Amino acid sequence: MTDSNHKWVYLFTEGSGEMRDLLGGKGAGAAEMTRAGMPVPPGFTITTEACRAYYSGERGFPDGMWEQALEALKWVEERAGKKLGGRENPLLVSVRSGAKFSMPGMMDTVLNLGLNPDTLEGLKARTGDERFSLDAYRRFIQMFGRIVRGIDGDLFEEALSEAKREAGVKTDPELSPDHLRRLVTTYQEIYRQHTGEQFPEDPVEQMRQAIQAVFESWNTPRAITYRKQEKIPDDLGTAVNVQTMVFGNMGDSSGTGVAFTRNPINGVKELYGDYLANAQGEDVVAGIRETEPVSALKGHMPEVYQQFVDYAGQLERHYRDVQDLEFTIERGRLYMLQTRNAKRTGEAAVNIAVDMVGEDLITQPEAVARVEPRQIEQLLHPRVDDAHAKEPPIGKGVPASPGAAVGQAVFDADTAEEWGQQGRDVILVRVETNPNDVHGMVAARGILTSTGGTASHAALVARGMGRPCVVGASAIEVNVKEGWFRANGTRVEQGQEITVDGTSGNVFLGRVPTIAPEPSAKLLTLLGWADGIRRLEVWANADYPRDAIKARENGAQGIGLCRTEHMFMEEERLPIVQAMIMADTTEEREQHLSRLLPIQRSDFDGILEAMQGLPVVIRLIDPPLHEFLPNYEDLLVRITELKIKSPDDPELPQLEHVRSRVEQLREANPMLGLRGCRLSILFPEITRMQVRAIMEAACDLKQRGVDARPEIMIPLVGTLAELDAVKAELVPVARQVQEERGIEVDYKFGTMIEVPRAALTAGEIARSAEFFSFGTNDLTQTTFGYSRDDAEGKFIVRYLERKILPVNPFESIDRGGVGRLMELAVREGRAARPGLEVGICGEHGGDPDSIRLCHELGLDYVSCSPFRVPVARLAAAQAVVAEAGAGTK
């Protein structure tokens, strides 16, 4: 885009809250507050579009952008009555990133921009505070050096510590102007050494470089990691806000804070946040200094507090959502710096949504749309069972993100990531976290820090990710370098197991038992609203009665997949299953099968009874038979050993026999081999036994007055002839059992749609299938030609990184390929058999985006794991709300 007339820059007075796409959250918020007449320091926003244009070309500002920024700067100067670079009354600005979706602390900010030796004099004269002015200058050099030129921040921190040591003082404010002046010189020297250039003195040049640095910060590894985690698209770009600085560090009548209009942890309606007197904003967010609760302001400056309370209420009513506010008080004058929709825990999200309906602020469908389905999962997280902890906690901190997490302590983000990738559960333990730790936080089960409050980086990010988190556990002494922490006399080494309880703030040594929480009344209310809105039914995948009971408690309306092979794998059954597979003749196989029959019958009896009155889809045996036998290589090793050590061992011939059978059954691509309905065709006696067990259980239950509704599902069908061949074996068994018992049961025979050919010929297959269930695990595998057991560990991660795949198709249905096959199968299946029942039982059944697709395709139900049922209920309702919203636009 090179049209220099294009509008790249908006003054705060020109924008509005609706312009988040273009102005980012921060810019739109500042504009909205300005429009509402609140005291917002004047400024302007460079659009996200400019950032996109920056990346689309050779990383240069698009034509006209810089000129517009300079124009806007003039306006700001007039409005503020100050001048950038002016000696008399210098204007200082902040240059901040601000994307459409908030990414706390992920991108860059430069404060106090505009200082140089000249303006420093002006600032001193205006404020009459030399110490303050010099401190602002050294902070600016430090931030600019670190952010714009990538100088290691520790170099500045070390110089600061050294200065304090020399001065014999402990805290920054104790440094005298002389010390600070020397520190400024040292900082300039660090800058020169690392860049080979003098620190830029021209404030306009400073601004140009800072704007470019903010654009660049959109694509730092930490920002990319965060976006991946939060599913924020990479191509949105960030806006840049240039705003007049106000100072919270001009003495005790100044200060800065962050506040939420409701408690973001539990949703209680109260002003909640942190305040730091005589400080700059960065100090609060970084969690370096001890803060006071924002309510303390009431005591210090009651009028300012009241004014802030009024603005907070006004903003919440305007946005009809909880706001996360940043403010600064400069010498008794309040300035509003930022308002955005607050990040919140699952518990808070539910409570706030339900409360706001009660307050007539939002409608029920809006409440349903407000809570992220993933957050519901967080709510159902286990919590620490304090009553059963063997030892008391070794420490306690601020509960910042709820849930219990158990894992091995690690002290740096890289190790957390590395161990996490090895499949180990880790807890990341730090003094504080900063944006460079995000990759470790993603990999960790939980997070523990010894400093920081509820608005610290660790707390904010952990809440957003749904990781249990405890911050500010001040009794804990962390030694990152040596890899240990000490808490109340107990030393914990890297790799030792600990439990953190983000609900209570407790930290325990070792693994503490956890309990599943009861859903709260408000959650039940919200889910009730969702049930009233959704069209899709929600069923569950469950193999055992206990899972079925759990599913039903969570609101499941049926079982969409009961995988029978898990029952074969159980310890006491496996030998019978193996003997059955080893059998040389059909008769011999049938003998073993007859021993399995009563066992299977009792399995089905349990699950059908647990789900009485509701459908239970039972899938006949699916995996290749060799999965039930010993591993071929292991067998060879054992046989070879025995041959050498004791060639006369009577076990040898038996082992040889097993080996030869395993060899017969071995396949190069077992997932594409003798499995699914192909087994039923080659060994019909196995599935005849299964159908007999299902029907006997159903008849017995019916006789006892229990309404059993089995739906028998045949896997991996690719042609109508296959399905018909299997049915020809099985339907007579079902009939026969009913005749034998003299009872009629409500049952169906249906098929999975999990290979592309089944989807493509769904019209034919529906002639014989009474229901369809999409097995999207296999359908994804066979549509892409990706081995699902290998792809995720091997190349999918790289594909995602390089954006060859937009999302992992095993997590979220690939709309363009798999989704189209599904659409065709639903359409042609229902054309052949009106009212055909169609569901999904692949892992995607619990994924909100896939649920939306299933809704759009007109499926009857989604089936997912029992604990995700509430998530799916909410997501199914959101699909309806989204559709309605899209229709009215």
What amino acid positions are annotated as catalytic residues?
A: 457, 841
DSSP assignment letter at 266: T
90 binds Mg ion (CB under 5 A): no
Phi, psi of 43 (to 5 degrees): -175, -175
User: For residue 384, which of 519, 515, 517, 520 has the smallest C-alpha distance?
Assistant: 515
Smaller CB separation from ligand PEP, 240 or 841: 841
- Residue 432 interacting entry, from ligand PEP, Mg ion, none, C-beta within 5 to 8 Å by type: none
Please state the closest distance from residue 868 (CB atom) to Mg ion, in A.
18
Is residue 646 packed enough to be buried (19+ CB in 10 Å), middle (13-18) or exposed (0-12)?
A: exposed
Smaller CB separation from ligand PEP, 438 or 762: 762
CA triple 454-501-400, angle to 5 deg: 10
Whole-number Cα distances in Å, 552 to 542, 556, 841? 10, 5, 16
Please state the closest distance from residue 775 (CB atom) to ligand PEP, in A.
3
Smaller CB separation from Mg ion, 46 or 625: 625
Site string for Mg ion, 735-774 (x = CB under 5 A): -------------------x--------------------
Smaller CB separation from Mg ion, 351 or 863: 863
Amino acid at 657: H
Q: Where are the beta strands (DSSP E) in 488-614?
A: 490-493, 497-501, 506-509, 514-515, 537-541, 559-563
- Residue 605 interacting entry, from ligand PEP, Mg ion, none, C-beta within 5 to 8 Å by type: none
The two three-digit tokens of residue 207, written as one number: 């601004």
Contact yes or no for 509/498 (Cβ under 8 A):
yes
Neighbours of 183 (CB within 10 A): 25
Torsion of CA 853, 856, 860, 863, to 10 degrees: 10
Q: Alpha helix (H) ranges present in 36-106?
A: 48-56, 65-80
Cα distance between residue 497 and residue 509, in whole Å? 7
Strand-pair partners of 277: 255
Q: Please state the length of the chain.
A: 889
Long-range contacts of 585-588 (CB under 8 A, 24+ apart): 586/685
- Residue 77 interacting entry, from ligand PEP, Mg ion, none, C-beta within 5 to 8 Å by type: none
- Residue 501 interacting entry, from ligand PEP, Mg ion, none, C-beta within 5 to 8 Å by type: none
| CB proximity list for 227: less than 8 A, separation 6 or greater | 103, 233, 234
Binding residue for Mg ion, selected from 466, 502, 775, 809, defined by CB under 5 A: 775
Amino acid at 387: A
Please state the closest distance from residue 792 (CB atom) to ligand PEP, in A.
14
| CB proximity list for 168: less than 8 A, separation 6 or greater | none
Please state the closest distance from residue 561 (CB atom) to ligand PEP, in A.
6
Smaller CB separation from Mg ion, 480 or 569: 569
Please state the closest distance from residue 272 (CB atom) to ligand PEP, in A.
44
Smaller CB separation from ligand PEP, 147 or 841: 841
Q: Name residue, tokens 């809440």.
A: 463
Binding residue for Mg ion, selected from 778, 814, 828, 860, defined by CB under 5 A: 778
- Stretch 859-878 residues interacting with Mg ion (CB under 5 A): none
- Residue 841 interacting entry, from Mg ion, ligand PEP, none, C-beta within 5 to 8 Å by type: ligand PEP
Contact yes or no for 383/362 (Cβ under 8 A):
no
Please state the closest distance from residue 715 (CB atom) to Mg ion, in A.
6
Cα distance between residue 169 and residue 165, in whole Å? 6
Smaller CB separation from Mg ion, 775 or 829: 775
- Residue 255 interacting entry, from Mg ion, ligand PEP, none, C-beta within 5 to 8 Å by type: none
Please state the closest distance from residue 879 (CB atom) to ligand PEP, in A.
20
β-pairing verdict for 559-563 and 109-113: unpaired
Please state the closest distance from residue 854 (CB atom) to ligand PEP, in A.
13
The two three-digit tokens of residue 249, written as one number: 């560090």
237 alpha-carbon distance from chain centroid: 21
Amino acid at 597: L
326 binds Mg ion (CB under 5 A): no
- Residue 315 interacting entry, from ligand PEP, Mg ion, none, C-beta within 5 to 8 Å by type: none
- Residue 314 interacting entry, from Mg ion, ligand PEP, none, C-beta within 5 to 8 Å by type: none
Please state the closest distance from residue 777 (CB atom) to ligand PEP, in A.
3
Smaller CB separation from ligand PEP, 30 or 857: 857
Cα distance between residue 214 and residue 230, in whole Å? 20
Contact yes or no for 710/667 (Cβ under 8 A):
no
- Residue 561 interacting entry, from ligand PEP, Mg ion, none, C-beta within 5 to 8 Å by type: ligand PEP
Cα distance between residue 102 and residue 145, in whole Å? 25
Please state the closest distance from residue 733 (CB atom) to ligand PEP, in A.
23
How many residues of this chain bind Mg ion (CB under 5 A)? 3
Smaller CB separation from ligand PEP, 469 or 716: 716
HSE of 555, CA atoms in CB hemisphere, 13 A: 24
Smaller CB separation from ligand PEP, 612 or 777: 777
Please state the closest distance from residue 731 (CB atom) to Mg ion, in A.
23
User: For residue 445, which of 378, 346, 520 has the smallest C-alpha distance?
Assistant: 378
Please state the closest distance from residue 840 (CB atom) to ligand PEP, in A.
8
Cα distance between residue 20 and residue 29, in whole Å? 8
Whole-number Cα distances in Å, 196 to 117, 182, 199, 635, 742? 20, 20, 9, 67, 94
Whole-number Cα distances in Å, 697 to 333, 546, 607, 702, 712? 77, 17, 10, 9, 13
Neighbours of 631 (CB within 10 A): 10
Please state the closest distance from residue 778 (CB atom) to Mg ion, in A.
4
- Residue 50 interacting entry, from Mg ion, ligand PEP, none, C-beta within 5 to 8 Å by type: none
β-pairing verdict for 93-99 and 90-91: unpaired
Torsion of CA 205, 206, 211, 212, to 10 degrees: 70
Smaller CB separation from Mg ion, 130 or 778: 778
- Residue 581 interacting entry, from Mg ion, ligand PEP, none, C-beta within 5 to 8 Å by type: none
Binding site for ligand PEP (CB under 6 A): 561, 563, 622, 754, 775-778, 841-842
- Stretch 356-415 residues interacting with Mg ion (CB under 5 A): none
Smaller CB separation from Mg ion, 437 or 754: 754
Smaller CB separation from ligand PEP, 130 or 754: 754
3-state SS of 128-177? Answer: CCHHHHHHHHHHHHHHHHHHHCCCCHHHHHHHHHHHHHHHCCCCHHHCCH
Max CA pair span of the chain: 103
505 alpha-carbon distance from chain centroid: 22
| CB proximity list for 86: less than 8 A, separation 6 or greater | 119, 122
- Residue 219 interacting entry, from Mg ion, ligand PEP, none, C-beta within 5 to 8 Å by type: none
- Which parts of this chain interact with Mg ion (CB under 5 A)? 754, 775, 778
